[in-house]
Amino acid sequence: MNCRYFPAILCLLMSAAVCVAQAPAPPVSYSSISELNQLLGGLQQTSEAIQGDLAHFRVEKWKTDSGTKRQTEGDVESLQRNLQSALPGMLNDLKNSPESTPLTFKVYRNLDALYDVMSSVVESAGAFGSKDEFQSLNKDLGSLEESRRAFAGRMDKIASAKETEISQLRAALQTARAELPPKKTVVDDTQPGTTKKPTKRKKPPTVPKPQESQATPSGATQAPQH
């Protein structure tokens, strides 16, 4: 027993799902691009300010133990390496995909790590560095915090927009399913590749008729045999 139309209906359903899933994404709005450019511009200025201030950082002149100096120098090198190499590549990728949730989160996570390391450096500068070093780096830390919060807000907007888009795709898929023709079941008992032979009707058995007995009329005399 086969359902002849089931494969065709399944194919239509899968095609509808693929078409909905592969529908072109709506173009990025001007306001979204403008917002991103503003965030990137502010972050670029902050990055340049931090690198300039770290270049004039003189940890070796601090009056503290060598362990604290080595720790702070390692943090400074880590910040410089990130700001010069890692962050620019992330921002460039984000420019090419302005509303990419993974890329936006990647930048935010990197800013979060930079903020933690920068906080440690500022704290050490306030304890052992000069007043100018502390004030300049503390100002940079505030700017970095503003960029981090701004990217957190943008990430929330993009996530909400993606959720709305997914809901619309689900609704479109349900509509496509509703428009499919009803499923019909057809019974086919024939084996594939063979032809069903016509069934011959059997003739009923022939019942022999009873033989008629030749009765001798009553009163008649059989002729004698010679």
Could you tell me the two tokens for 126? 């306030």
The backbone torsions φ and ψ at residue 225, rounded to the nearest 5 degrees and listed phi first, read: -95, 135
pLDDT for the residue numbered 190 = 60
Q: What integer pLDDT is reported at residue 176 of this predicted model? A: 72
pLDDT of residue 78: 97
What local confidence, expressed as pLDDT, does residue 29 receive? 84
- Domains identified in the chain and CATH numbers: 28-168 (1.20.120.230)
- pLDDT score for 162: 72
Alpha-carbon distance of 72 to 60, in angstroms, equals 10
- Burial readout 112-148 (b: 16 or more C-beta within 10 A, e: otherwise): eebeeebbebbebbeebbeeebbebbeebbebbeebb
What does the pLDDT read at residue 96? 93
Low-confidence ranges of the chain (pLDDT < 50): 1-3, 5-13, 16-17, 19-21, 213-221, 223-224, 226
For the question of whether the overall pTM of this predicted structure is more than 0.75, the answer is no
How much is the pLDDT for 9? 44
Instruction: Supply the pLDDT for residue 26.
Output: 62
